[in-house]
A and B are shown apart, each in its own frame.
Chain A
């Protein structure tokens, strides 16, 4: 009895010592810091908080696997509070004070534009996970969301082929992403032979809540006896009242389908989806993708967040791909040195959640499949179309005359984000 307890005591002592040694060891051991730059308060918190959580989950999972280069990863979370200039300040803080190896962050294009000079000046790495308007390729930024040719154009193709749409309403929120996307789509539709009078373009302010006039305009536009569809780049909160008004005025998806580029599972979670059934969305990922790897991802996510009702969405997958690409590039390079990683990451391919491999292209965009989904009553999407193979992101749209002649290739010794094939010159290292 006595002996036994002595044994226990010594075991406990040993354990205590071991853990003490281990904590000092992990203190001495350096960690690799990863910056997370997503708004946790303000208007964008609705979308960005989830991305912060998914990054924390990915880092935790990586640490469980033994970290990176034998070191543990340490997330550094900052809150830029949906304030665009604050994004630049917080990016500076991450790079200068915390000396992070890479930053994952931003949602809106305007916030990305605000941090670009900082990443260029301090030579950092930014992974940007949201679909955007394109027309940009920067040495320090990796665009893991969709470029217009990976989302908007395939969606329009789907409507042309499957719904035989002849009249188009391009409705968007009034800022850079919808304006550029609609410019590209307008040029694309005209190239397909759609007449001027068959395209209606409409912009609304952020958070627009009174859609009566616009929806009745759309209804009237649809009475020309031609099949009509709405291509929506309406952003954020304005979507809920928009869809509610559509339903109220009796427009169903069978009459005038709406294909949206900013409505995903997360947005639908706050919506009575019954009247929306059949409206479309185009993304590179849906939670309903039926693959083993996706089922595993969803399970991990639900366990991490501790809520069975939480959903996954496209920008989360973009972070999943981006983070794994960075990890792989760092392993390949054997260092987190920014310049080496930027060179090494090109050509790195990692599994995406829809069962294929996504690769980093020399223009810092990635290859992805494009999926078209129809909204279901449970707030999930039924995938009704899928591109045959992967689509490579095109930084400079081929449908805008001024950008059709630009190409981007960051491989050495070319290293140019906006090379003009007509003049044979690189437009400079800055964007645009």
Chain B
């Protein structure tokens, strides 16, 4: 009797095995299709099971479908519920077969319904795709898969990863795979103590925030005393190294904020600092620069999409001309009648700033405009524990370049000489045959133009809206007054000091209080040194 039962079980098992193996063979297409269409018609909550079922087939054919699903490119027809991968095409969406990727007809989007996914499903898909591509032919894909598994820590992928790491030849991919194995080992209850200790050692050496997250989530699950001790030690050591990098990070953030302040203020250092004009419309010059960038990008997007990466380079000179031109018109039209009358200048330029804002609002609309980041302006790279974001780095570089160029213009060119002569002693300069009114106009245009160029840079990190200028005007005046009126070096040091001070205060005091404290500090500082950090000395001061 017992034998008979055994036999029956064996027969049943072999039958099952046969079914399973045919599932991998030719018949798989139909079963895959069935799962795919079941996935599409399932509720959002139940789609996870179907994704797992697709991943469990181990069939690399489903990878494009899963990737399209995560990207939100999978739709089904409202009429007959057939599922397609779609691609944008003229007049609607191009349908592709989900498995064979054969191109079908182009239909309007109204007859289709999207197969929605949420973050949870996207994570699941990411893990599933990684499991399927971990042994792909392409090293880049393998690296991506290993990194995704490091994040998803999918237990089932462990044997796959181990097989992959044994066959791996590329060093970076191998590193990533070993890291993923270590992360999964910490999650794996079946792993031996030795394996776990090795994994902990690996993360201790890695010493970044992700390692900290992994180790601290492991700590409560530690099984032996040795494990929990090793985990605690690892956490301690990682936290120590993070604390050190924290200080470095604060300096970097401070310098980066300082570079933004410098950019915003450097034009003002000319118009207010050198010429003494309280220009409330300075912020609007920055805004005009940002809108110039927007217009340039629109034109490039429409007519020369290939040049998008260079859009900022085209925008820079144009922004200089636009803002400089407006500045010139302002000086000739209004400000030249008001020299020596600071209060009237203040009110008049404030009025101009309102006019410019409302004009932009009328022309471009009150909503934010989208200014895209070229690829070289986005993303981040790491130096040790410090993540440098590309846009901030480029802005810092750009601010310093503008500063140096401006310094050169003032010190080394004929125009710079005239400018300094006029600001230091106007009547003497006039007697020497310098046309002082024109020097004034050109100086003002130069300051405004630089503000416009700052707008191009700031459009990369800020909103492009008619209010853009107001965000920066107070800060700009703060920097110029603190650094010392009439001195470019003062502006540089002032901007960087304020930036770093702000960023060191922020973690302790919060962003709101940090700003207040900095303002209070400047007020007290001005009481003590009314002329700022780098005061101009000599007779020029009294003019």
Q: How far is the CA of A214 from the CA of B215 in the complex (A)?
A: 24
User: With A214-B511, A237-B463, A248-B389 in contact, is A224–B370 under 8 Å at CB?
Assistant: no
Q: Which residues of B contact A271 (CB under 8 A)?
A: 368, 370
Q: How far is the CB of B280 from chain A (nearest CB, A)?
A: 15
- Select one of A210, A222, A240 contacting B368, CB under 8 A: A240
Q: How far is the CB of A163 from chain B (nearest CB, A)?
A: 6
- Which of A203, A240, A248 has the most B CB atoms < 10 Å from its CB? A248
A362 in contact (CB, < 8 A): no
- On whether the beta carbons of B118 and A213 are closer than 8 Å, the reply is no
- Select one of B120, B219, B390, B392 contacting A212, CB under 8 A: B392
A423 in contact (CB, < 8 A): no
B379 in contact (CB, < 8 A): yes
Q: How far is the CA of A162 from the CA of B358 in the complex (A)?
A: 45
- On whether the beta carbons of B370 and A220 are closer than 8 Å, the reply is no
- Which of B119, B371, B466, B503 has the most A CB atoms < 10 Å from its CB? B119
User: With A203-B510, A213-B503, A249-B380 in contact, is A254–B119 under 8 Å at CB?
Assistant: yes
User: Would you give the 0/1 interface string for B336-380, flagging 1 where the beta carbon is closer than 8 Å to chain A?
Assistant: 000000000000000000000110010001111111110000111
Q: How far is the CA of A140 from the CA of B319 in the complex (A)?
A: 50
- Select one of B256, B369, B470 contacting A270, CB under 8 A: B369
Q: How far is the CA of A210 from the CA of B358 in the complex (A)?
A: 26
A267 in contact (CB, < 8 A): yes
A198 in contact (CB, < 8 A): no
User: Would you give the 0/1 interface string for A182-209, flagging 1 where the beta carbon is closer than 8 Å to chain B?
Assistant: 0000000000000000000011110111
A45 in contact (CB, < 8 A): yes
B443 in contact (CB, < 8 A): no
B214 in contact (CB, < 8 A): yes
- On whether the beta carbons of B118 and A384 are closer than 8 Å, the reply is yes
- Select one of A162, A205, A208, A222 contacting B118, CB under 8 A: A162
A60 in contact (CB, < 8 A): no
- On whether the beta carbons of A272 and B210 are closer than 8 Å, the reply is no
B209 in contact (CB, < 8 A): yes
Chain A residue at minimum C-beta to C-beta distance from B372: A272
Q: Which residues of A contact B249 (CB under 8 A)?
A: 216
A:35-58 near B, CB below 8 Å: 40-43, 45-46, 49-50
Chain B residue at minimum C-beta to C-beta distance from A269: B367
User: Would you give the 0/1 interface string for A259-273, flagging 1 where the beta carbon is closer than 8 Å to chain B?
Assistant: 000000011011110
- On whether the beta carbons of B464 and A203 are closer than 8 Å, the reply is no
Q: How far is the CA of A253 from the CA of B72 in the complex (A)?
A: 15
Q: How far is the CB of A226 from chain B (nearest CB, A)?
A: 7
Q: Which residues of A contact B512 (CB under 8 A)?
A: 174, 203-205
User: With A213-B503, A270-B368 in contact, is A223–B209 under 8 Å at CB?
Assistant: yes
A257 in contact (CB, < 8 A): yes
Q: Which residues of A contact B212 (CB under 8 A)?
A: 223
Q: How far is the CB of A78 from chain B (nearest CB, A)?
A: 16
B123 in contact (CB, < 8 A): yes
B253 in contact (CB, < 8 A): yes
User: Would you give the 0/1 interface string for A2-26, flagging 1 where the beta carbon is closer than 8 Å to chain B?
Assistant: 0000000000000000000000000
Q: How far is the CB of B390 from chain A (nearest CB, A)?
A: 8
User: Would you give the 0/1 interface string for B100-128, flagging 1 where the beta carbon is closer than 8 Å to chain A?
Assistant: 00000000000000101011101100100
- Select one of B122, B213, B378 contacting A254, CB under 8 A: B122
Chain B residue at minimum C-beta to C-beta distance from A383: B116
Chain B residue at minimum C-beta to C-beta distance from A280: B119
User: With A248-B389, A377-B72 in contact, is A204–B213 under 8 Å at CB?
Assistant: no
- On whether the beta carbons of A272 and B216 are closer than 8 Å, the reply is no
- Select one of B369, B380, B463 contacting A241, CB under 8 A: B463
A:228-271 near B, CB below 8 Å: 237, 240-241, 244-245, 247-250, 253-255, 257, 266-267, 269-271
User: Would you give the 0/1 interface string for A409-429, flagging 1 where the beta carbon is closer than 8 Å to chain B?
Assistant: 000000000000000000000
Chain B residue at minimum C-beta to C-beta distance from A48: B366
Chain A residue at minimum C-beta to C-beta distance from B389: A248
Q: Which residues of B contact A207 (CB under 8 A)?
A: 467, 470-471
A328 in contact (CB, < 8 A): no
- Which of B372, B461, B463, B466 has the most A CB atoms < 10 Å from its CB? B463
- Select one of A162, A237, A245, A275 contacting B465, CB under 8 A: A237
- On whether the beta carbons of B462 and A278 are closer than 8 Å, the reply is no
- On whether the beta carbons of A248 and B378 are closer than 8 Å, the reply is yes
B218 in contact (CB, < 8 A): yes
Q: Which residues of B contact A45 (CB under 8 A)?
A: 361, 366, 466
B260 in contact (CB, < 8 A): yes
Q: Which residues of B contact A401 (CB under 8 A)?
A: none
A314 in contact (CB, < 8 A): no
- On whether the beta carbons of B380 and A250 are closer than 8 Å, the reply is yes
B86 in contact (CB, < 8 A): no
- On whether the beta carbons of B361 and A270 are closer than 8 Å, the reply is no
Q: How far is the CA of A432 from the CA of B379 in the complex (A)?
A: 47
Q: Which residues of A contact B215 (CB under 8 A)?
A: 225
User: With A217-B507, A240-B463, A278-B122 in contact, is A225–B216 under 8 Å at CB?
Assistant: yes
A74 in contact (CB, < 8 A): no
- Which of A50, A203, A220, A225 has the most B CB atoms < 10 Å from its CB? A225
- Select one of A204, A212, A374, A383 contacting B256, CB under 8 A: A212
Q: Which residues of A contact B365 (CB under 8 A)?
A: 49
- Select one of B371, B391, B471 contacting A209, CB under 8 A: B471
A83 in contact (CB, < 8 A): no
- On whether the beta carbons of A384 and B373 are closer than 8 Å, the reply is no
Q: Which residues of B contact A223 (CB under 8 A)?
A: 209-210, 212-213, 216
Q: How far is the CA of A296 from the CA of B218 in the complex (A)?
A: 54
A135 in contact (CB, < 8 A): no
Q: Which residues of A contact B118 (CB under 8 A)?
A: 162, 278, 374, 382, 384
A324 in contact (CB, < 8 A): no
Q: Which residues of B contact A212 (CB under 8 A)?
A: 253, 256-257, 389, 392, 503
- On whether the beta carbons of B260 and A210 are closer than 8 Å, the reply is yes
A219 in contact (CB, < 8 A): yes
- On whether the beta carbons of A220 and B122 are closer than 8 Å, the reply is no
User: With A212-B253, A270-B369, A270-B464 in contact, is A225–B214 under 8 Å at CB?
Assistant: yes
Could you give 21 example pairs across A and B, Cβ below 8 Å?
A41-B357, A43-B467, A204-B511, A205-B511, A209-B461, A210-B253, A210-B260, A212-B503, A220-B242, A223-B209, A223-B216, A237-B368, A244-B373, A244-B461, A250-B380, A255-B151, A266-B367, A272-B371, A275-B378, A278-B119, A374-B119
B residues within 8 Å of A by Cβ? Answer: 44, 72, 114, 116, 118-120, 122-123, 126, 151, 209-210, 212-219, 242, 249-250, 253, 256-257, 260, 357-358, 361, 365-373, 378-380, 387, 389-392, 461-467, 470-471, 502-503, 506-507, 510-512, 515
A residues within 8 Å of B by Cβ? Answer: 40-43, 45-46, 49-50, 162-163, 174, 202-205, 207-210, 212-214, 216-217, 219-220, 222-226, 237, 240-241, 244-245, 247-250, 253-255, 257, 266-267, 269-272, 275, 277-278, 374, 376-377, 382-385
For the complex with contacts A225-B213, A237-B465, 15 further pairs of A-B residues with Cβ separation under 8 Å are A41-B361, A46-B465, A210-B502, A213-B503, A213-B506, A213-B507, A216-B249, A220-B209, A225-B218, A254-B119, A254-B151, A269-B367, A269-B370, A270-B463, A382-B116
